[in-house]
Chains A and B, each alone.
Chain A
Amino acid sequence: MQHSDAAQQQHTSLLRHATTPVHQEQVLFPVSTRDLINIGIFTVLYFVAVAICGQLGALIPLLQILGPLYIPIIAGIPFALFLTRVHKFGMISIMGILVGLLVLATGQAYWVAVFALVLAPLADWIAKTGSYQAWGRLVASYAVLSIMLIGTVVPLFFVREAFLSRLSQRKDPAWVETIISLTPQWMFAVMLVMLVVGSIIGMYVGRAILRKHFVRAGIA
């Protein structure tokens, strides 16, 4: 199975080479210009989806804490539509790395970029094992990709510690202890679980929206 898959891919890449002159890189890593433009568009949409969530979170304070749960749910809608365009290895990887780069450029967390370098190709590989069709693999792939968003929280934990250590110079230790107990370290693990659960729900929501709107509009 694996062998025939590889042979098939080589076959198509050879065909492409025969019909249109292509870049040297493109033969090694066959993603067309059209695919690359699609990656750019869906990266923007993924970002905007998260930004709309932020707007909502600013209005309702409770949503701030539930961020890791609902952000992947909303972002699942553009991602589900993106997956209808994905059919080659590399597209999910590039998208994940670009999201990491954008988060890096807006100065939120370099951890997202670091995680993206590992998790995005992993997510891509998981989806590829289902040839970008098997629903279970796609859900797993999105869950793995979403875990990189935990990177935004990693430095917040660090900044908090620096903040607390500075405070402890002025305040008594008991007071700092209460602050630490109010925001415990296990919150990190809870957030990880929330991300995974959120992205599983997100894929189902995304598929429902896809069927409700995009198939009818002829773009899915």
Chain B
Amino acid sequence: MKPRELFRFDPRTILLVIVALNIVMFSAGFTEIEAIVRAIFTAIPAVMAIGVGRLWPAMWYLIICTGAIVTEQLLLASDVGGVGTLLAGLASLTTRLAPCFFLAYVAVVSIRSGELMAALEQWRVPRHIVIPLTVIFRFIPTVREELMAISVAMTARGFSLYQVGPGQWIEYRLVPLMISTVKTGEELTQAALTRALGKPGPVERIHEPTFRWYDAVLLLVCAIGVVIWCVG
């Protein structure tokens, strides 16, 4: 079932939001204004996910983030040692990493390969980076599906972690996954070469990336956030 999209973001917008989010999340600030900016940037991936029609993942993400932020604040305010400190560290790591991971998820589910290639070529990224990067975007969902199917099959055949131990457990998941991925990759290569991937000169594309008003709004919010971050 394909989720219904409200917005189709320009891949360039998504890449720029990733950059902005990373700038903000890397610095460890805890003043009043920095907390507000961080809250805004935590919300942005959720808004984008809802925009591309992924309502439930966005809800789960918001629940996890809120939980982590509350835990962090509560534990830092009170004097708890040992386990409390460890838990606070874990919570603060979650508040920092979860937005980036979730944004990566949004990017993978919403960017079309053709659009990404066109966008990166407009930025004059060399094709030595463009082609592998597009393949990565194209393959992450495939590999995830394959891995889940293989996992189910192997568990059904009695290769679960508690029955065979970690060594075999990994071997019996990674090896079939690699074989199927490499085979798929070979077919993809044939298909791509047939469709003149790597052809010299300009190419025409079915999906041209288009910059729309919501891209502008999103980038404006990010820009304001980063500026406040730098000033504050």
Q: Mark A16-52, 1 if CB is under 8 A from B, else 0.
A: 0000011111000101111011111101110011001
A106→B104 contact, CB < 8 A: yes
B134→A105 contact, CB < 8 A: no
B189→A43 contact, CB < 8 A: no
Which residues does chain B contribute within 8 Å of A37, judged by CB atoms? 131-132, 135, 185, 188-189, 192
Which residues does chain A contribute within 8 Å of B30, judged by CB atoms? 166
A52→B170 contact, CB < 8 A: yes
Q: Mark B131-163, 1 if CB is under 8 A from A, else 0.
A: 111111011100100010000000000000100
Chain A interface extent, by class: 35 or more
Is B97 among interface residues, defined by CB-CB distance under 8 A? yes
B128→A36 contact, CB < 8 A: yes
Q: Secondary structure at chain A's binding surface: helix, strand, loop or mixed?
A: helix
What is the CB-to-nearest-CB distance from B22 to chain A, in angstroms, rounded to a whole number?
5
How many residue pairs at the A-B interface have CB separations less than 8 Å? 152
Q: When chains A and B are docked, how far (Å) is the Cα of A94 from the Cα of B128?
A: 7
A33→B198 contact, CB < 8 A: yes
The residue that A45 contacts in the complex, of B81, B138, B177, B189, with Cβ under 8 A, is B177
Q: Which 9 A-B pairs have the closest CB atoms?
A: A107-B100, A40-B135, A33-B198, A40-B132, A36-B131, A41-B185, A39-B132, A162-B28, A44-B139
| A interface residues, Cβ below 8 angstroms from B | 21-25, 29, 31-34, 36-41, 43-45, 48-49, 52-53, 56, 59-60, 74, 77-78, 81, 90, 94-95, 97-98, 101-102, 104-108, 110, 155, 158-160, 162-163, 166-167, 170-171, 175, 179, 209, 213-214, 217, 219
> Contacts A44-B140, A90-B128 given; 13 further ones with Cβ under 8 A?
A37-B185, A40-B133, A44-B139, A56-B170, A59-B161, A77-B175, A78-B178, A105-B18, A107-B22, A107-B97, A108-B100, A159-B92, A219-B179
